[in-house]
Amino acid sequence: MYCIPEEPDFGDGHAAERAVWEKLRACLPDDVILAHSVQVRNGSAEHEIDLLVLWPGVGLAAIEVKGGQVGIERGQWYQSDRSGRHNIQSPVAQSQGSLHAFKSWIGNQIGTALTSRFAYLVCLPYTTVPADWTLSGCPRSLILDSGDLQSPAEKIRSAIETEGGGASSLAPAYLHRITARLEGHLEPATNPDLNPRELEDAQNHLTERQKVLLTSTRALPRIRFTGGAGSGKTWLAVEKARQLTRQGLRVGLFCYNKGLGQHLQNQVGTWRSAKPAFTGEFHEYVRSLGVPDGSGQTYFDEEMPRLLQQKAAGLEYGQKFDAVIVDEAQDFAPLWWEALLACLKDPSAGQVYAFMDDRQDVYRRWGGATADLVHGPTADLVPIHIDDNLRNTRRIADTFKVFAGEHFTPRGGTGLPVRRVECATEDAADVAGDCMDALIVEGWESNQIALLTTRHRHPVHQDYFDRDATQEYWRDFHANEAEFYGHVLGFKGLERSVVVLCVDGFKEQDRAAEQLYVGLSRARCLLVVVGDSALLSDAGGPEFAQAFAGAEHWEPSTPSLP
């Protein structure tokens, strides 16, 4: 039997309709069409046919279903169910009205009046109606009670043939024309796979649900939130800053990367009420206190935080923080932590919130041992684990799951297959550029795409670097007006709908797995990995190679120029 829809969603409170639907589907002939909840608008009046039977060679039946115990007292219909007894509109009148509305509507739609036999019926699946019962305008033959549902097919056919108004049976050709209107086929104008807005809205909704973590831990003043890529840590860090500033506290919101720092500033910039006293990069905060710039990694990792500690000792009480929040906290060297805590009004008991992923320690500032990340200055922070991945589709998350830990749980939609493009390492940048062009031809907007390299800067990225235009570079990224070219190390904490990961080698092989993890986890909807399979397997290990083997092989192609 052909059903419209194939599997109706009856919802709560429609158990009676479901029961009758199942009975009819089981006993009506295969060539009958059964439709559920047919909505009809006739002028300004709205009608609904609970169940519509279209029987070729016989006719049509509009069936109104009423559950519970149904009765009539002094002409008033009533229904008794678990909520008690209450008056209802005459189901006979409802069925009659919906029948006439449907006849009028379908005639206007098709351009030919419906002259086939058409009966209105009332089905009372939990009520017994005596065989000799009758009502003005409704003979007993138009009622299906609990006993009639044992074999309703012949009852419906008989009602159509003896009580249905109309001059003829339902012709198959007219039936098909009605069916087309009932199905209401609608083909989206664009490929839904190329429009990530709905998927990303759902992912954003899931991320906002993480707020419960902040609510449930609000009594804890010092916490280390640890979670895998895409678990909503940055969102939580910003939300925590919002909550604390609304309490009138002086808050510092910190990170290490310039791109992430600009993102945090953009988020805070939209607030109308109180804002953090400082938002952005740790080293920018140090400079804002008058600590001079230096050169070399040793200066930034050791000398600069030592100078900050000296500055902190001389800060007025009102210039210090009530709370500090650090996003991507695993990027902070131990001495940075010590210097930052010195800027608290109460270094030993002030509020501290670290949001981190100990498996993304790409800078190895803690000596390369992940266990060290939870010791030292952050040892007294209460550990809270965030296991759900909310940013990525499941297909993307499954690709890097091996790096994220045993408790990592993808929660996003299934999404598009991950694509893999095989090429030699030295050709990866050129091939990745071809991928960008092909994706735009497919229908992706350029500003949805980021190309990330694992070793060398892409030429577009290098041009910004050579011009010393770092601020312009990140301003262009956050303007979200064009495609973006970056390196995985600079893209930590950031994301785009589509990421083309250009695996053009690794500067240090012992850090390759962490960099691969970062790169694979930046895409929300579509991930394209470009590079040599042997290099990828060597960097990610056998478990990653096995997971990545399920990716879809892709050869990007773009239209040739005339």
Written as one string, the DSSP assignment of 471-484 is HHHHHHHHHT-S-E
Q: Residue 194 pLDDT more than 60?
A: no
Tokens of 305: 């935080």
**How far apart, in whole angstroms, are the C-alpha atoms of residue 304 and residue 47?**
74
66-75, 182-191, 258-267: range with lowest mean pLDDT:
182-191
Place of tokens 């250009």: 502
**How far apart, in whole angstroms, are the C-alpha atoms of residue 515 and residue 298?**
22
Q: Residue 245 pLDDT more than 60?
A: yes
What would the mean pLDDT of 284-304 be, rounded to a whole number? 91
**How far apart, in whole angstroms, are the C-alpha atoms of residue 245 and residue 321?**
11
Query: Residue 410's closest CA among 195, 513, 418, 212?
Result: 418
In sign, the C-alpha dihedral spanning 84, 89, 92, 95 is negative
In sign, the C-alpha dihedral spanning 54, 149, 67, 124 is positive
pLDDT reported for residue 195:
54
What's the pLDDT band for 378 if we cut at 50, 70, 90?
Answer: confident
User: Please, what is the average pLDDT of the chain?
Assistant: 89
**34 within 8 A of 21, measured Cβ to Cβ:** yes
pLDDT reported for residue 10:
85
Percent of the chain with pLDDT over 70: 92
What's the pLDDT band for 165 if we cut at 50, 70, 90?
Answer: confident
Q: Residue 373 pLDDT more than 60?
A: no
**How far apart, in whole angstroms, are the C-alpha atoms of residue 241 and residue 237?**
6
What would the mean pLDDT of 169-184 be, rounded to a whole number? 90
CA atoms within 13 A on the CB side of 466: 7
- Residue 260 burial by CB count (10 A; 0-12/13-18/19+): exposed, middle or buried? buried
Q: Residue 203 pLDDT more than 80?
A: no
259-263, 508-512, 554-558, range with greatest mean pLDDT: 259-263
Query: Residue 450's closest CA among 394, 520, 393, 401?
Result: 520
Residue 411: CB partners within 8 Å, gap ≥ 6?
206, 388, 389, 390
φ, ψ of residue 550 to 5 degrees: the values are -85, 0
What would the mean pLDDT of 347-369 be, rounded to a whole number? 75
Residue-wise pLDDT for 467-481, tens only, equals 999 989 999 999 989
Residue 469: CB partners within 8 Å, gap ≥ 6?
none
Flag whether the pTM goes above 0.75.
no
What would the mean pLDDT of 443-468 be, rounded to a whole number? 94
pLDDT reported for residue 363:
59
CA distances from 477 to 18, 468, 471, 483, 527 (A): 52, 16, 10, 8, 19
Q: Residue 242 pLDDT more than 60?
A: yes
Q: Residue 71 pLDDT more than 90?
A: yes
Residue-wise pLDDT for 13-45, tens only, equals 788 999 999 999 999 999 999 999 999 987 788
Given strand 59-65, what is the order of strands in its sheet? Answer: 2-4, 33-42, 45-55, 59-65, 118-123, 143-144
pLDDT reported for residue 562:
43
H-type helices in 217-348, by residue range?
A: 233-246, 258-269, 282-288, 297-298, 304-314, 334-341
CA distances from 269 to 236, 362, 510 (A): 16, 29, 39
What's the pLDDT band for 322 if we cut at 50, 70, 90?
Answer: very high
